[in-house]
């Protein structure tokens, strides 16, 4: 992809961050001020879960569900809106599936004072309107994708007037709008290096809080992976220790329905499903891969952020995949023990933490576990309802087992 095209796509400051070799990039004062609405987020110890599992492990979690939009995504949305505003960008355009990223960017636009247009997957726009109402309440323009405002949208609809839409159609429409409006830039919810950089506030705060809590060094860092922004945000601040030999297991948890890190290949691929955007080397299931509909909408992405893919490729990051019923049973157990209803994405991390803590009990082994509580599930209660009534199905995805070399899935808990 040409530099010219990149310059038209995203604010220059963010492209510079993508390539930056600086050791520290400080948080601009205005962004730090806005973070104070909900940051620092609490670090909790899940004592009730430890008791329930009768485990010698200490389980901590960083509670990003406290953000007003409900997840960690606001950390990057605010930074992106700030840099865009600094450069005189009039409007940020983005795509959203179920609406987590769209609602974060909508709120960031309202707080920073920049227009936000969101192309939302048509099926969610009509059938899960809660987050659409949230985005509109924050003042964003939300359009169903495919829709009639772009040539691409009209073409998708002429092929199929009932087209349910996908991330692919939403990105395509958003990019078309950015290309035709010199005042607009495209905003990415995950994937890019700058997004992971913004998210490191999670791990930087958690390190200081663990020290204040007198916790010993962490043995396990656990996070769900869609693209890897909450994982990178939590874990990158520990990377120097790990590379210097600290015994820290870093574990990414994904759905079996979209097993990017456990079943994907490390190769060049497109970030967007149409194969129009930038191409990068990372773990991918192929940009044309369409994951089956599962309730953890934020984890239905074919590729990992390039930094996360590299860590996996280098054998630094472990990975494991779970089916959605075992994920929801972990989420429901956590809710009963703590009162906090985790987002289905977050429940993936909790599932893995439970298995690690059980293994610690079997082995009478002490360990300190920290996981990323990436978001709350109060706008996902429909999914919990389906789980509670036994309607939730496990969707096995690909039998695909390519011959490409890849690190084995995390063995410790599956043995
Ligand atoms: C979007 C989302 C994720 C997955 O995205 P990452 O980029 O992998 O962090 C996880 N949890 C929640 C609550 C989300 O909204």
Q: Do residues 237 and 325 share a domain?
A: yes
Whether 224 lines ligand 1, by a CB cut-off of 6 Å, is yes
Report yes or no on 63 lying in a domain: yes
Report how far ligand 1's centroid is from the alpha carbon of 375 (Å).
Answer: 8
Do both 381 and 277 map to the same domain? yes
Long-range CB pairs of 40-43 (<8 Å, 24+ gap) are: 40/205, 40/209, 41/66, 41/67, 41/202, 41/205, 42/66, 43/205, 43/206, 43/209, 43/210, 43/213
At which of 193, 220, 239 does a domain end? 193
84 & 33 share domain: no
- Among protein residues, the one with the nearest Cα to ligand 1's atom 10 is 345
In a domain, 121, yes or no: yes
The answer on 218 and 96 residing in a single domain is no
What backbone torsions phi and psi does residue 163 show, to the nearest 5 degrees? Answer: -50, 120
Q: Indicate if 363 and 382 belong to the same structural domain.
A: yes
Contacts of 392-396 spanning 24+ positions with Cβ under 8 A: 392/295, 392/324, 392/325, 392/328, 393/325, 394/256, 394/323, 394/324, 394/325, 395/256, 395/257, 395/292, 395/293, 395/294, 395/324, 396/256, 396/257, 396/323
How does pLDDT run across 96-120, given as a tens digit for each residue? 988 999 999 999 999 999 999 999 9
For the Cβ of 230 lying below 6 angstroms from any atom of ligand 1, the answer is: yes
* DSSP annotation of 99: S
pLDDT at 21 over 80: yes
Domain boundary among the residues 167, 193, 219 is at: 193
* DSSP string for 141-165: EEEEES-SSSHHHHHHHHH-TT---
pLDDT digits (tens, 9 = 90+) for 352-395: 999 999 999 999 999 999 999 999 999 999 999 999 999 988 87
Report pLDDT digits (tens) over 232-242. Answer: 999 999 999 99
Q: Are residues 225 and 328 in the same domain?
A: yes
Tokens of 190: 């995950």
Same domain, 143 and 207: no
More confident residue, 275 or 220: 220
- For residue 12, being part of any structural domain is answered with no
In this structure, what token pair is assigned to residue 19?
């390539």
My answer on whether 104 and 247 are in the same domain is no
Q: Which residue is closest in CA terms to ligand 1's atom 2?
A: 298
- What sign has the CA pseudo-torsion 25, 26, 29, 31? positive
Final residue of a domain: which of 136, 160, 193?
A: 193
Which atom of ligand 1 is nearest the CA belonging to 231?
9
CB of 343 closer than 6 angstroms to any ligand 1 atom:
yes
Contacts of 133 (CB under 8 A, 6+ apart): none
Atom of ligand 1 nearest to the CA of 375: 13
For ligand 1, whether the C-beta of 228 sits within 6 Å is yes
The pLDDT value given to residue 270: 83
pLDDT higher than 60, residue 415: no
Residue 195 CA, closest ligand 1 atom number: 7
**Residue of minimum CA distance from atom 7 in ligand 1:** 229
User: What torsion do the CA atoms of 348, 349, 352, 356 make, to the nearest 10 degrees?
Assistant: -170
269 is a domain residue:
yes
Residue 261's alpha-carbon distances to 344, 405, 415, in angstroms, are 18, 12, 19
4 part of a folded domain: no
CATH number for the domain spanning 156: value is 3.40.50.1100
Q: Is the pLDDT of residue 36 over 90?
A: yes
Pocket flag, ligand 1, residue 196 (CB < 6 Å)? no
Atom of ligand 1 nearest to the CA of 233: 9
Q: Say yes or no: 227 and 300 in one domain.
A: yes
- Give 371 Cα–ligand 1 centroid separation in angstroms: 13
The 8-class DSSP code of residue 237 comes to: G
Residues 255 and 324 in one domain: yes
Cα–ligand 1 centroid distance for 396 (angstroms): 21
| Same domain? 221 vs 150 | no
Residue 108 within a domain? yes
Query: Residue 91 sits in which domain range?
Result: 72-193
**Ligand 1 contact, 311 CB (< 6 A):** no
* pLDDT, tens digit (0-9, with 9 covering 90-100), for 296-337: 777 877 889 999 999 999 999 999 999 999 999 999 999 999
pLDDT for residue 5: 61
Does the CB atom of residue 226 touch ligand 1 within 6 A? yes
DSSP-based three-state secondary structure for 368: strand
With a 6 Å cutoff on the Cβ, whether 66 touches ligand 1 is no
* 346 in contact with ligand 1, CB cutoff 6 A: yes
Ligand 1 neighbour 256 (Cβ under 6 A):
no
The Cα 374–Cα 71 span in angstroms is 6
Q: What confidence tens digit (pLDDT) does each residue in 150-207 have?
A: 999 999 999 999 988 888 889 889 999 999 999 999 999 988 999 999 999 999 999 9
Please tell me if the CB atom of residue 100 comes closer than 6 angstroms to any atom of ligand 1. yes
Let me know if residue 21 belongs to a domain.
no
Instruction: Report the mean per-residue pLDDT for the chain.
Output: 92
CB of 71 closer than 6 A to ligand 1?
yes
- β-sheet bridge partners, residue 120: 96, 144
Cβ distance 43 to 211 under 8 Å? no
pTM of this structure? 0.94
Ligand 1 centroid from CA 403, angstroms: 29
Q: Count of alpha carbons within 13 Å of 318, Cβ hemisphere only?
A: 19
pLDDT digits (tens, 9 = 90+) for 118-148: 999 998 899 889 999 999 999 999 999 999 9
Tell me, yes or no, whether 263 lies in a domain: yes
Report the nearest atom of ligand 1 relative to the CA of 228. 8
286 plus 183 within the same structural domain: no
Total of domains in the chain: 2
CA distance 311 to 231: 11
The pLDDT assigned to 396 comes to: 65
């Amino acid at each position: 992809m040409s530099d010219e095209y990149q310059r038209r796509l995203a604010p220059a400051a963010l492209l510079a961050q993508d390539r930056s070799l600086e050791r520290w990039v400080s948080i601009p004062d205005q962004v730090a001020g806005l973070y104070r609405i909900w940051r620092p987020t609490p670090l909790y110890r899940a004592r009730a879960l430890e008791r329930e599992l009768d485990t010698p492990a200490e389980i901590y979690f960083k509670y990003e569900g406290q953000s007003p939009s409900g997840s960690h995504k606001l950390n990057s949305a605010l930074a992106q809106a700030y840099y865009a505003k600094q450069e005189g960008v009039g409007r940020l355009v983005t795509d959203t599936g179920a609406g987590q990223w769209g609602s974060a960017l909508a709120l960031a636009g309202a707080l920073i004072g920049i227009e936000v247009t969101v192309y939302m997957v048509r099926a969610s726009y009509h059938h899960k309107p809660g987050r659409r109402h949230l985005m509109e309440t924050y003042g964003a323009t939300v359009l169903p994708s495919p829709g009639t405002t772009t040539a691409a949208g009209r073409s998708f609809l002429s092929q199929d007037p009932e087209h349910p839409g996908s991330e692919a159609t939403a990105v395509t429409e958003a990019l078309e709008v950015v290309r035709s409006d010199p005042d607009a830039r495209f905003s990415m919810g995950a994937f890019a290096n700058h997004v992971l950089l913004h998210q490191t506030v999670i791990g930087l705060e958690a390190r200081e809080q663990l020290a204040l809590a007198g916790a010993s060094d962490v043995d396990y860092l656990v996070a769900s992976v869609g693209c890897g922004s909450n994982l990178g945000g939590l874990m990158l601040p520990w990377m120097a220790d790990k590379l210097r030999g600290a015994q820290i297991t870093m574990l990414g948890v994904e759905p079996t329905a979209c097993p990017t890190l456990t079943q994907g290949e490390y190769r060049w691929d497109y970030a967007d499903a149409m194969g129009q955007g930038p191409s990068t080397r990372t773990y991918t299931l192929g940009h044309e891969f369409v994951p089956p509909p599962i309730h953890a909408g934020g984890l239905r992405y074919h590729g990992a952020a390039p930094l996360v893919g590299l860590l996996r490729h280098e054998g630094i990051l472990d990975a494991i995949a779970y089916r959605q019923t075992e994920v929801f049973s972990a989420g429901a157990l956590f809710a009963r023990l703590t009162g906090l209803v985790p987002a289905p994405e977050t429940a993936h991390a909790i599932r893995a933490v439970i298995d690690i803590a059980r293994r610690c009990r079997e082995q009478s082994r002490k360990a300190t576990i920290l996981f990323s509580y990436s978001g709350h599930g109060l706008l996902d209660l429909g999914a919990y309802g389906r789980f509670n009534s036994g309607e939730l199905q496990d969707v096995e995805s690909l039998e695909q087992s390519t011959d490409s070399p890849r690190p084995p899935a995390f063995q410790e808990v599956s043995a």
